[in-house]
Amino acid sequence: MPYRKPPPPRYKLQVQEDETDHRVWHDVHAPDGKLRVFDDEASARAKLEELFPVLFGLEKFAAGPKRTRVIVIARDDEEEQE
C-alpha cells in the first residue's frame, strides 16, 4: 500500500510585542482578521520584513532579542487521518 505524500508545510508569522515578556508571542493577522498564512518561507519572511521593518532590521544585526519569527504550522491529527 503506497503512502500518500504529505502536503507541503505552511508558514505563519509571529511577533513579540511586549519586550519585557519574552515568552508571549502573537500571531500576525491580516486587516480582515484572518491569520496570515504562506505557502513558502521566503514569502513569509518578506512579508514579515514589510510589516515590521524596524524589528526585523534589528535582528539582522543582533541588536537585541529576537522579536519576530516565521514558524511552520503544525497539522492536526485529524488532518493526518483524512
Q: Please determine, for residue 22, whether its predicted confidence score (pLDDT) is greater than 60.
A: yes
CA distance 35 to 81: 24
| Residue boundaries of the structural domains of the chain | 11-81
pLDDT for 20 equals 77
- Average pLDDT of the chain is 82
Contacts of 70 (CB under 8 A, 6+ apart): 11, 12, 13, 14, 38, 41, 44, 45, 48
Per-residue pLDDT tens for 33-75? 999 999 999 999 999 999 988 887 777 777 667 788 899 997 6
